[in-house]
Structure 1
């Protein structure tokens, strides 16, 4: 509806991107998201996983749908309808960790998409090399991910403590027939060895497309 101004000339309200229909908005958001992925084609493997400290996110970020979804509720609502945005999950631990409720949303919105999951430690400006909460946090994240094990395509973790990493056939179980990359990395090697009497009973972790040597060994 036109609005009156001091000069008496009516003026229409300024239109914004949020005035677009959801279909058109989704096309724009998808184009922006795909463009960001092309520009950052170097990916996590060469920037975060293979080099640099796991608690340092000052390196170029891998494009995540959350960087668009957090702009405003309308964008998040629109993006929740398109599973392609949520096929790649970047989950932060450490400072300002990704809320578990948000991870549940991501998994729901991804529907049946094969999943690429990156669990990373956010940079701590204090330089602390100790986090008593990391192990429990990662355990809770893994519990959310396990029901979707058949959809895992990539699972990469880079954490502070080696004791925080989940153990294949102990914590990571099930049939991961789509998994092509499994990388479990850490900065501080502080895993506690199991005694002969308290080694957990191994379960099945079927990863037919992943060589056994990339698995994180039992401590």
Structure 2
């Protein structure tokens, strides 16, 4: 569904209006080093995910019948609000779908360990992050927290210098190796990195290029 759609038809034939992004104006980026006001869990055990995925935490739902759960992390409050309202509208218009996705306002480069235990994540995506061009601001670029996930890390940007910087960081990290071309071709997620986000669609419309970097965390068997 296009991000430009304003309404969709639900399973009961009724029209459900989707939020319009123009009413959620926000700055292009926020300073990740500044203090923001939002709830911060002390540890992953303190998080109640039932409001995010109510269908999967229903007592009547089969505990072993869970899909892969996904959550987006965003620092800007207006963007978080827009995504949250859009998810709720899509759930209402498509019963049984979009129940495994959610969003939370937080500072991922600082509070990621507060949300996830070691080895809890199977994949992480950093798509079109702020490039922070000045060298003195490179510390604002997204920092890694290797213990939180296993085994795949996906990066994509339309800034070549940032793409090279990400690759250099990953290549020099002892816990990661680049995913082979054969694996990338077989991965159904890879084609979506450049076209499934609003930023990616904007780059495509403008005829721009994207610079992908996909790495796998080294296991004890490697």
Taking structure 1 as the reference length, the TM-score comes to: 0.32
Give 1 or 2 for the bigger CA radius of gyration. 1
Whose RCO is larger (CA < 8 A, sep 6+)?
Answer: 2
